[in-house]
Structure 1
Amino acid sequence: MSALLALRGAVFAAALASAGCATAQDHAPEPRPAWDYVEFEVKSWGSTVSSWRILPDGGGSWTEALREQGQAPSVPASLAWHEITADAANFETLAAILHRLPDPAPDSQACENFMTDAPYGTLRLTRGATTTEIAWNSGCMDENYRAFMTVLKAADEHMAALGKAAPVARTDPPQ
Structure 2
Amino acid sequence: MRGLAYLAAAAMLASCAPASRVPVAAEAPVPVSAEMRSWGTVVFLWQVSPSGEVQHTSAERPAGQQSMFAYWAVTRRAQVGPEGYVKIRALFDPVARLRPGAWTCGQGYTDGPYGMARWGAGERATASYHSGCPSRGATALFAALDPATKQVEAWTANGEVISREWMGPPGEEPKR
Return the offset for 1:145: 3.3
1:55 to 34, 49, 55: 49
The answer to whether the 8 Å contact 1:78/1:171 transfers is yes
**2:67 corresponds to:** 72
1:107 to 90, 103, 106: 103
The residue type equivalent to 1:106 in the other structure is A
The residue type equivalent to 1:54 in the other structure is V
> Which whole-Å CA distance do the structure 2 matches of 1:32 and 1:107 have between them?
24
**2:88 corresponds to:** 94
CA deviation map 1:56-81 (0-9, x unaligned): 011120111112455333x1522111
2:130 to 129, 137, 140: 137
> Which whole-Å CA distance do the structure 2 matches of 1:76 and 1:107 have between them?
33
Structure 1 residue runs of 5 or longer lacking an equivalent are: 1-30
> Which whole-Å CA distance do the structure 1 matches of 2:73 and 2:119 have between them?
23
Ranges of 4+ aligned residues in structure 1 off by more than 6 Å = none
For these two proteins, the number of residue pairs brought into alignment is 142
Structure 2 residue runs of 5 or longer lacking an equivalent are: 1-25, 169-176
The answer to whether the 8 Å contact 1:105/1:134 transfers is no
> Which whole-Å CA distance do the structure 1 matches of 2:162 and 2:72 have between them?
13
> Which whole-Å CA distance do the structure 1 matches of 2:137 and 2:162 have between them?
38
> Which whole-Å CA distance do the structure 2 matches of 1:32 and 1:141 have between them?
31
Calculate percent identity across the aligned residue pairs.
21
SS at match of 2:100: coil
> Which whole-Å CA distance do the structure 2 matches of 1:32 and 1:144 have between them?
23
The answer to whether the 8 Å contact 1:105/1:148 transfers is no
- RMSD over aligned CA atoms reads 3.0
Return the offset for 1:106: 3.5
